[in-house]
């Protein structure tokens, strides 16, 4: 909706100087709110026309004053148009400050980004993971490096960020940082969230990302087959630490819990439910969505192995994600598994090999994984060839009668 804008000149007749003149004041009104300031000009109150907002007469002095007031009016109108065009809101105070050359404090990208990350830091464990904060902080550092290398800047005003800056950062990530398509996309997604935050707060009027499309490439994350799972289960490890990593990994393969949820799993998250059986009942840290998982025998045996041996109510000996992944690479080598074994692969294995391939409906798998929609589950769960073979064998048996009817 277009704003209303008015300019009024008036003589401050209650404050007369020693020459008998009064100051001419300027009042700007935008949408009913006003700001005022002195024009720095004085006038004899007897020749001031209140209705016309002008000085009466034909002298050179009168002409000079009226010309000065016209210039003020024209300049104020230009500031009004400029603010309306480039900012999310226009106010009388903004126009006044622009005219007087009073600069409003500009919000800077890295300052806002740092403040955002500090706010996230306070929410760790309350719907935000430490790794998520780490990813935002890495994005902030990448932006700082980009500005220093490309523009020799330590920061940039949010209002100065444009399409060229955005595409430049994209190129920097791909070329200088050697990021692949998806890693680049994730950095750009987090950068865009800061821009959205700025727009929502009125620090910028337009979204510089409007013509930039973030594209993710579909990646087959893989999963372990039942044969590979069996190899890991049957393998004996001489080093206790590797054995513990194997146990925690298998626990995730048979529960579908993500790393952070396994790490934070406590005794009170495991309950005897309506059916008299043990369930894991907890909210996922990433999404805060409830995940209810019936414990199978393998994870129950693993829990029993470590029962009463850990501190702080923890039920499993979980190392840092980095160390877990490092040991998992050793496990893959020892078991002769060629896949890039990472902890997150366990969640995909649960969805594909442990559940979906065994006939568990995808709706049930989705519920156990704590997904809010089936589309997310489809990223994790794959229909294997063995599942197709099994299903088609069952179909073939059901069609046996129809086969006999065929007259060839």
Burial 217-252 (b: 16+ CB within 10 A, else e): eeeeeebbbeebbebbeeeebeeeebbbbbbbbbbb
Looking at the chain, the whole-number percentage of residues with pLDDT higher than 70 is 95
> Residue length, the chain?
408
**Domain covering 226-391 in this structure, CATH number:** 1.10.443.10
Quote the pLDDT of residue 97. 87
Confirm if 172 and 141 have CB atoms less than 8 A apart: no
Question: Residue 239 has what DSSP assignment?
Answer: S
Token pair, residue 44, equals: 């004899």
What is the predicted pLDDT for the residue at 103?
A: 63
Q: What is the rounded distance in angstroms from the CA atom of residue 387 to the CA atom of residue 373?
A: 23
Burial class, 103, CB count within 10 angstroms (exposed 0-12 / middle 13-18 / buried 19+): exposed
Q: 70, exposed or middle or buried, with CB in 10 Å at 0-12, 13-18, 19+?
A: exposed
Coil vs helix vs strand at 20:
coil
If pLDDT is split at 50, 70 and 90, which confidence band does 30 have?
very high
Q: Are 33 and 54 in contact (CB under 8 A)?
A: no
User: Phi and psi (nearest 5°) for 170?
Assistant: -60, -50
Spatial neighbors of 310 by CB under 8 A, at least 6 apart, are 316, 317
Query: How much of the chain is in helix, strand and coil states, percent to nearest 5?
Result: 55, 15, 35
Closest by CA to 391, choosing from 359, 354, 364, 352, is: 359
On average, the pLDDT of the chain sits at 89
CA-nearest of 162, 150, 145, 149 to 110 is: 145
**Helices 60-86 and 92-100 sit at what angle, rounded to 10 degrees?**
120
- Spell out where 215-299 has E strands: 270-272, 278-283, 290-294
Looking at residue 152, what is its pLDDT? 86
Q: What are the tens digits of pLDDT across the range 146-192?
A: 999 998 889 998 988 999 999 999 999 999 999 999 999 999 999 99
The full set of domain ranges for the chain reads 5-100, 109-200, 226-391
pTM, to two decimals: 0.60
List strand residue ranges (DSSP E) for 22-103, in order. Answer: 22-30, 33-43, 48-49, 54-55
The predicted pLDDT at position 408 comes to 64
- Which contacts (CB < 8 Å, 24+ apart) does range 80-85 have? 80/5, 80/30, 84/3
Report the distance separating Cα 92 and Cα 8, nearest Å. 12
């Amino acid at each position: 909706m277009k704003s209303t804008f008015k300019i009024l000149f008036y003589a401050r007749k209650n404050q007369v100087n020693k020459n008998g003149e009064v100051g001419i004041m300027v009042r700007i009104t935008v949408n009913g709110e006003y700001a005022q300031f002195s024009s720095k000009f004085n006038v004899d109150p007897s020749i001031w026309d209140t209705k016309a907002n002008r000085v009466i007469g034909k002298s050179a002095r009168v002409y000079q004053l009226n010309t000065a007031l016209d210039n003020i009016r024209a300049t104020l109108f230009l500031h009004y148009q400029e603010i309306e065009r480039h900012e999310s809101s226009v106010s009388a105070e903004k126009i006044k400050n622009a005219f007087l050359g009073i600069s409003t404090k500009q919000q800077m990208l890295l300052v806002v980004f740092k403040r955002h990350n500090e706010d996230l830091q306070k929410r760790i464990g309350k719907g935000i993971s430490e790794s998520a904060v780490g990813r935002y902080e890495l994005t902030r550092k990448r932006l700082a490096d980009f500005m220093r290398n490309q523009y020799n800047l330590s920061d940039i005003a949010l209002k100065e960020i444009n399409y060229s800056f955005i595409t430049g950062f994209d190129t920097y990530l791909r070329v200088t940082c050697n990021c692949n398509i998806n890693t680049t996309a994730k950095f750009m997604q987090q950068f865009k969230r800061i821009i959205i935050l700025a727009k929502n707060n009125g620090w910028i009027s337009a979204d510089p990302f409007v013509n930039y499309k973030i594209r993710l490439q579909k990646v087959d994350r893989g999963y372990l087959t039942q044969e590979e799972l069996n190899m890991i289960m049957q393998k004996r490890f001489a080093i206790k630490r590797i054995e513990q990593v194997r146990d925690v990994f298998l626990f995730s393969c048979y529960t579908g819990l993500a790393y952070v949820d396994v790490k934070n799993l406590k005794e009170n998250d495991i309950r005897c439910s309506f059916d008299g059986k043990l369930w894991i009942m907890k909210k996922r840290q990433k999404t805060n969505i409830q995940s209810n998982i019936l414990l199978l025998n393998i994870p129950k045996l693993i829990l029993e192995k470590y029962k009463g041996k850990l501190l702080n109510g923890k039920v499993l000996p979980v190392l840092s994600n980095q160390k877990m992944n490092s040991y998992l690479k050793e496990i893959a080598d020892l078991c002769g598994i060629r896949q890039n074994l990472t902890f997150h692969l366990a969640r995909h294995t649960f969805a594909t090999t442990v559940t979906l391939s065994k006939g568990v409906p995808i709706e049930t798998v989705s519920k156990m994984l704590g997904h809010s929609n089936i589309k997310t589950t489809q990223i994790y769960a794959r229909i294997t060839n063995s599942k197709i073979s099994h299903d088609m064998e069952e179909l073939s048996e059901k069609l046996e009668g129809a086969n006999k009817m065929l007259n060839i």
